[in-house]
Amino acid sequence: MGILEKISEIEKEIARTQKNKATEYHLGLLKAKLAKYRAQLLEPSKSASSKGEGFDVMKSGDARVALIGFPSVGKSTFLSLMTSTASEAASYEFTTLTCIPGVIEYKGANIQLLDLPGIIEGAAQGKGRGRQVIAVARTADVVIMMLDATKGEVQRSLLEKELESVGIRLNKHKPNIYFKPKKGGGISFNSTVTLTQCSEKLVQLILHEYKIFNAEVLFREDCSPDEFIDVIVGNRVYMPCLYVYNKIDQISMEEVDRLARKPNSVVISCGMKLNLDYLLEMLWEYLALTCIYTKKRGQRPDFTDAIILRKGASVEHVCHRIHRSLASQFKYALVWVSFWVEGEQGVRPRTAPGLGMEQGVHTLCVVFLPFLWGLCVCPP
């Protein structure tokens, strides 16, 4: 029996098994086996020769966004509208057969947008070059899942299932579980919270399925067996996903309102160019980028060339971005934070006269490096 057949049998067994206290250990073992077989399926075969070539492109710009969706949902049209790249678009399926990159210029940042070929059901098993598409998606900072508004629910569930099966976790955070294999001493299990989904016995059974008999496990939050398996495997990718429902001009206003109220969702129409500006704003928010501009001594900030950093970056990140040796010359920085008075925006210095490299830089903040130049963070 091949790996695909084993995966199919386990999925059927999970589907027909009732979920209760008596079957939770059995289901936990089945899920552990399923994750192990799926990991083996994704590993390239050593005996197989590499026929053809992939379509991964060099990562460029300040962030990378992957367009994922079924064939003929409007991905190529969206790329052509948002970037200066012309991607072939037609009413028939499989118009795009390779990865087509484009660049979105927004708020001084260059965002690389990848138009990936449409994937079909069973892409995780390699159907329709699905593995190559998903491999590129794993390298992105944000995934835009393009859906046809007329059949968005079906497409969304199928795509989520395909991405879930290859270790891509959408809009989820990494489980707060400490796991460390050891050379001896058995399995040490502890938890700082009350566990309602996992028990010590179930954790031991899952570890034994992976041939792990000595390890230290600490649950810092109430997690499910699936989340614990993700921690053991260790190759999961957690990334934000924006669900974009295209072709809203073909559905009723009531349906548009229902889709727009879903979490992490945006409704657009590429054909009529509706709501594209709001989509860009949401994309910027999901990427969590900050624009920083240089300022010479005694002059206003230069807003023509931005330094793009992630939110939560510190003065040290700014120094490294300008030049590698700049951090070694650093002495202190003066930081101004934003404030509003009667609806007017302004800046004022922080109480500390000199701040170190750990000081965070964020939106509506001004940083001055006395020995070189100042830095100003642009509002979003």
Spatial separation of the C-alpha atoms in residues 184 and 186, rounded to whole Å: 6
Average the pLDDT over 149-161 and give the result: 89
Lowest mean pLDDT among 17-26, 236-245, 278-287, 329-338: 329-338
Residue 240 backbone zone (phi > 0: left; psi -120 to 50: alpha; other: beta): beta
Q: What is the mean pLDDT of the chain?
A: 77
Greatest Cα pair distance in the chain: 74
What are the pLDDT digits (tens) for 14-29?
888 888 777 877 888 8
Task: Reply yes or no on whether the pLDDT at 50 is more than 50.
Answer: no
- Separation CA 91–CA 38 (nearest Å): 34
Mean pLDDT of 290-298: 74
Global pTM exceeds 0.85: no
> Contact at 8 Å (CB) between 30 and 14?
yes
The tokens for 42 are 């994704």
Helix axes 225-233, 24-42, angle to 10 degrees: 30
User: Using CA atoms, how far apart are residues 123 and 354, in angstroms rounded to an integer?
Assistant: 55
What spatial distance separates the first Cα and last Cα of the chain, rounded to whole Å?
55
- What distance in Å separates the CA atoms of residue 100 and residue 106, rounded to the nearest whole number? 19
* pLDDT in the model for residue 92: 41
Fold for domain 63-83+97-171+237-287?
A: Rossmann fold (3.40.50)
Report which DSSP code applies to 248: G
* Three-state DSSP class for residue 100: strand
**Sequence ranges of the domains in the chain:** 3-43+175-233, 63-83+97-171+237-287, 289-378
Q: Which CATH architecture has domain 289-378?
A: Roll (3.10)
CA atoms within 13 A on the CB side of 165: 24
Over range 281-298, report the average pLDDT.
Answer: 83
Cβ neighbours of residue 216 closer than 8 Å, sequence gap 6 or more: 178, 179, 180, 182, 187, 188
> Tens digits of per-residue pLDDT, 301-311?
677 777 788 88
pLDDT in tens, 206-256: 898 889 999 999 999 999 988 999 999 888 899 999 999 999 999 999 999
Residue of 378, 368, 380 whose CA lies nearest to 295:
368
Q: Is the pLDDT of residue 85 over 80?
A: no
By mean pLDDT, which of 85-94, 101-110, 216-225 is the weakest?
85-94
What pLDDT, on a 0 to 100 scale, did the predictor assign at position 166?
Answer: 80
Residue linked to tokens 């001896």: 184
Q: What is the DSSP string of 266-296?
A: EE-BTTTTBSHHHHHHHHHHHHTEEEEEEE-
Question: 373 burial class (0-12, 13-18, 19+ CB within 10 angstroms)?
Answer: middle
- According to DSSP, the residues that pair with 103 across neighbouring strands are 112
Mean pLDDT, rounded, for 176-183? 93
